[in-house]
Structure 1
Amino acid sequence: MTDPITDREITAEDRATRSAQAMWSTDQASQDLGMEITAVSPGGAVLTMRVRDEMLNGHGICHGGYIFTLADSAFAFACNSYNQLVVAQENTITYLAPGQPGELLTATAVEQSKTGRSGVYDVTVTGEDGRKVALFRGLSRQIKGQHFEE
């Protein structure tokens, strides 16, 4: 497929980047939580989020809902990287270690399978010291539409 603006072939990397830009422009939740996209590729994404004081639970560690949201956002950018609208069908998470106050968490999403309209993605959330904080699995389902016109 050729980009009508640049008159050059749209690569899979271009498609992933443009899809992420389109999604990010309206993703108020991820933006308000201070997330940043550090990488996106076909079937993959890496997002970061700093644990802020308002994200701490009664134990003084990052509330699991925020860790889930970070993982879910990485999953969303990974499965939407083909310029097709994709939504979550089912997600699970296993918490392995606490997110600490002030810590930068990193969620790395990797496509495991994409067949027809369904996909399986694994997301590993790590702390700044490299320890695994959580493991997330997301099942996706493609719906009608695209992020941008090709």
Structure 2
Amino acid sequence: MRVHRRHVGIHADADGAAPHLPRRRSRRTRHEDQGGQHPEHHWRPHRFLLWVTAGDRSRAQVVTWEPVSASDYPEIRAELRERIQQDPWAAALGIQYLDLRRGYCRVRLRLQPHMVNFQGYPHGSVIFALADVAFGAACNSHGEAAVALNVTIAFLDAVTPDATLIAEGREKKQGRRAGFYEIEVTTEDGAPVALAHCVAHRVGR
């Protein structure tokens, strides 16, 4: 069996930051390129077209490559990063932004004594808020306003009241309006705490 691979319509942003798949340029996009403020380019993972040959039969198979590490996600504009990181709610909770890229966000929160419930464990709403901040930053990192449509969270394990938590949000798929994200909450040493699945809606289209 022989396998042949070639790229399918991949090109990079103007600054060469990361590849994205071409799409039809709308009238609105062309107008914005002529001087109006336009959002970040829509970015999607690599796609490869594999030709698999077995005997006298061949077939094509499209394989998608997804980012593995944070550095695989494209950088965003400095002014957009600053605007997102000035979130008042995140500041009130003491959440720190560790990394923010297009479709990706990593934040940290050191739990405080007033963040526990009557049982002495960190309150679930605090863990949810940390995941939600990572989600909100990741889904707005394209430069277009997005709001939450749905968030479901599973609490996997309890943590100590003085723990430091990390939330890492990753874009799984971005359509024309809806975006799908997965947020992992862990301790600093990587122990799982919670897992959230989120859907965002772009309001500017």
| 1:49 counterpart (100, 109, 118) | 109
Gaps of 5+ in 2: 1-13, 16-39, 42-73
TM-score (norm 2): 0.62
1:60 and 1:101 in contact (8 A); partners too: yes
- Indicate the SS of the match to 1:46: strand
Give the C-alpha shift of residue 20 in structure 1: 2.9
Letter in 2 for 1:31: A
Give the C-alpha shift of residue 128 in structure 1: 2.2
TM-superposition CA deviations, 1:9-50 (whole Å, max 9, x none) = x895133x532311222x211101000000011100001101
Give the C-alpha shift of residue 83 in structure 1: 0.7
1:111 and 1:119 in contact (8 A); partners too: yes
2:76 and 2:102 in contact (8 A); partners too: no
TM-superposition CA deviations, 1:106-141 (whole Å, max 9, x none) = 000000010101100000000123110000011000
2:104 and 2:170 in contact (8 A); partners too: yes
RMSD: 1.9
Q: Sequence identity of aligned pairs in percent?
A: 32
Matched, 1:62 2:122: yes
- Indicate the SS of the match to 2:193: strand
Determine the C-alpha separation between the residues in 1 that align with 2:101 and 2:145: 16
TM-superposition CA deviations, 1:58-77 (whole Å, max 9, x none) = 12111000000000000011
In terms of Rg, which structure is larger?
A: 2
Higher relative contact order (CA 8 A, sep 6+): 1
Matched, 1:21 2:82: yes
Give the alignment of 1:1-150 within 5 angstroms. Answer: 12-15=74-77, 17-25=78-86, 27-144=87-204
1:105 and 1:125 in contact (8 A); partners too: yes
Determine the C-alpha separation between the residues in 2 that align with 1:89 and 1:14: 24
1:19 and 1:80 in contact (8 A); partners too: no
TM-superposition CA deviations, 1:60-97 (whole Å, max 9, x none) = 11100000000000001111111110110100100001
Determine the C-alpha separation between the residues in 2 that align with 1:20 and 1:136: 23
In the alignment of these two chains, the number of paired residues is: 136
Determine the C-alpha separation between the residues in 2 that align with 1:21 and 1:47: 14
Moved segments of 4+, more than 2 Å: 17-20
